[in-house]
Amino acid sequence: MFPFNFEWIWDMSHMVFMGGLWYALTILGIGVGIAAVVILVGLGYGLQGILLEKIVFGEAMLSLSVTAPSSKVIILDDDMVKEFLNYDNVQDVSPMASFPAMVTYEGLNSSMVLQGTNVKYFSYAGIAPSKGRVLEEGDTNKIVVTSATLQLFEIENPDDIIGRRMKFKIFIPVPGSEDSQEIPLDNDYEVVGVVDDQTSVSAFIPIKEFSSRFSIPYYERARVRVSNSEVLTSVEEKIIEKGFIVTALSKTVDQANKIFQGVQATLAVFGGIALIVSAIGMFNTMTVTLLERTKEIGIMRTIGASPFSIKVLFLTESIIMGFLGGVMGIGIGVGSGLVMNYLLNAVAVRMGGLAIALFKFPIAFLIFVAVFSAIMGLLTGVFPSQRAASLNPLDAIRYS
């Protein structure tokens, strides 16, 4: 029976504790580097989402915005709208007429732009209401105003203008002169919705409110709805040949995505610097582990362990360390991002703003980070594992 040796137990306990602490600190270091990457790239995804969530997809992605050049040599009128409708792969054309107007609201008078269009224009242009609704089929004496119009009348809460009424006088240019003809719109128009537009003091009414009172001389712009995304370019080229200015929302989205891909790559580079430092720390840990376990390796080789088994042992440890560091980094990064989202939203709502997600973490990106961290662990463990497998068993046993 062996004697009970407290010193031996203390040495073993101390060795296990220090070894575990060394591994834990290494995993924590990897986690901090991974967390830096997760947070910075998550910020890029969040900024991208804030921009693109303002765009209503669907029909808006299949429409072209057509405007006439400012020279007025080419005019967008009913004849041109009918010509667009005859193009192959064009399903619909929704024009918009725009005229300067005088608005009367609760005894206050001001100038603004009054825009007449049909119901489909809103979906083709990707215009969604921030309060209330947009125009619908069968609407009469209804109007949708922009958020800039609320500022004109010093209205802070959009709910306060829903259901209120406005009167208008519009000014139609007289052909061949610089004069304009004043045409009052006799009806009172009920505000049914507000759209988010801080740059234009304007409003939308059904275009029949114009066409029933006068002949519309020209349209400011039109939305051309095509059948599918493959024909966008061909239809665009036909319209440009007529001398019109054409823009497509899909191309704007593509350009924005490319810009944010560059932003995400730049942020990832800064995070990658911290990741490189973590990788160096992990490599250092595996090298120190090799020195500390040299005698242990010699014993394993002596009792029959092959060099391949030793190599697999070291590689497995490094992969597990890398993966655990990645999981810890994901937890730290996502947790920090969610906390910052909560704090920023709390401040924004308290100050009367809107809640936004400044940090976003797509599941595919997080899975990639976890896999990448495991691969990083594998790569940092290759050299120490090869050295461990190549040790001479007798020299390793004599190592102290």
Residues 387 and 297 in one domain: yes
Task: Indicate whether 5 belongs to any domain.
Answer: no
Residues 192 and 260 in one domain: no
What residues have CB less than 8 Å from 52, skipping those under 6 apart?
A: 253, 256, 257
CA neighbor of 297 nearest in space, from 281, 317, 279? 317
Determine whether 359 is exposed, middle or buried from the number of CB atoms within 10 Å of its CB (0-12, 13-18, 19+): buried
Instruction: Tell which wins on pLDDT, 66 or 250.
Output: 66
**How confident is the model over 268-274, as a mean pLDDT?**
72
Structural domain count, the chain: 2
Residues 264 and 224 in one domain: no
Residues 232 and 373 in one domain: no
- Gyration radius of the chain's alpha carbons: 34
Residue 79 banded pLDDT, cuts 50, 70, 90: very high
Which of 243, 277, 309 terminates a domain? The answer is 243
**How confident is the model over 307-329, as a mean pLDDT?**
85
**How confident is the model over 273-284, as a mean pLDDT?**
74
pLDDT of residue 298: 74
**How confident is the model over 321-350, as a mean pLDDT?**
86
Q: Which of 154-163, 172-181, 384-393 has the highest mean pLDDT?
A: 154-163
pLDDT of residue 303: 78
DSSP 345: H
* pLDDT at position 12 over 50: no
Residue 14 banded pLDDT, cuts 50, 70, 90: very low
Phi-psi region of 248 (alpha: psi -120 to 50; beta: other; left: phi over 0): beta
* 3-class SS of residue 191: strand
Residue 21 banded pLDDT, cuts 50, 70, 90: low
Rounded to the nearest 10°, the torsion over CA 359, 361, 365, 366 is: 120
Task: Indicate whether 2 belongs to any domain.
Answer: no
Task: Indicate whether 10 belongs to any domain.
Answer: no
**How confident is the model over 81-103, as a mean pLDDT?**
93
Instruction: Tell which wins on pLDDT, 396 or 240.
Output: 240
pLDDT of residue 345: 82
pLDDT of residue 203: 96
Roughly what angle, to the nearest 10 degrees, separates helices 249-292 and 307-350? 130
**Structural domain harbouring 166:** 69-243
Residues 48 and 74 in one domain: no
Q: What is the pLDDT of residues 119-128, one digit of tens each?
A: 999 988 888 8
Residues 293 and 363 in one domain: yes
Helix (H), strand (E) at residue 213: none
pLDDT of residue 58: 58
Q: Give the range among 8-17, 29-38, 126-135 with minimum mean pLDDT.
A: 8-17
Residue 134 banded pLDDT, cuts 50, 70, 90: very high
pLDDT of residue 81: 93
Task: Indicate whether 59 belongs to any domain.
Answer: no
In percent, the amount of the chain with pLDDT more than 90 equals 29
Residues 236 and 261 in one domain: no
Q: What is the pLDDT of residues 186-226, one digit of tens each?
A: 889 999 999 988 889 999 999 999 988 888 989 999 999 99
**How confident is the model over 39-55, as a mean pLDDT?**
75
Q: Give the range among 94-98, 154-158, 272-276, 333-337 with minimum mean pLDDT.
A: 272-276
Q: What is the pLDDT of residues 151-165, one digit of tens each?
A: 888 898 888 999 999
Straight-line distance from the first to the last Cα atom of the chain, in angstroms, rounded to the nearest whole number: 28
Pairing of strands 165-173, 245-248: unpaired
Task: Indicate whether 296 belongs to any domain.
Answer: yes
The span from the CA of 165 to the CA of 185, in Å, is 13
Q: Which residues does residue 225 pair with via DSSP β-bridges, in sequence order?
A: 63, 92
**How confident is the model over 367-383, as a mean pLDDT?**
85
Q: How many CB atoms lie within 10 A of CB 76?
A: 22
Q: Name the average pLDDT for the chain.
A: 82
The span from the CA of 355 to the CA of 37, in Å, is 24
User: CA–CA distance from 42 to each of 53, 136, 293, 372 (Å)?
Assistant: 16, 39, 40, 16
Instruction: Tell which wins on pLDDT, 310 or 399.
Output: 310
**How confident is the model over 25-44, as a mean pLDDT?**
81
Q: Give the range among 16-25, 173-182, 275-284, 366-375 with minimum mean pLDDT.
A: 16-25
Instruction: Tell which wins on pLDDT, 148 or 283.
Output: 148
- Whether 341 and 358 have beta carbons less than 8 Å apart is answered as yes
- Whether 182 and 193 have beta carbons less than 8 Å apart is answered as no
Residues 184 and 74 in one domain: yes
Determine whether 6 is exposed, middle or buried from the number of CB atoms within 10 Å of its CB (0-12, 13-18, 19+): exposed
Task: Indicate whether 60 belongs to any domain.
Answer: no
b/e code 362-393 from CB counts within 10 Å (16+ = b)? eeebbeebbebbbebbbbbbeebbebbbebeb
- Whether 285 and 376 have beta carbons less than 8 Å apart is answered as no
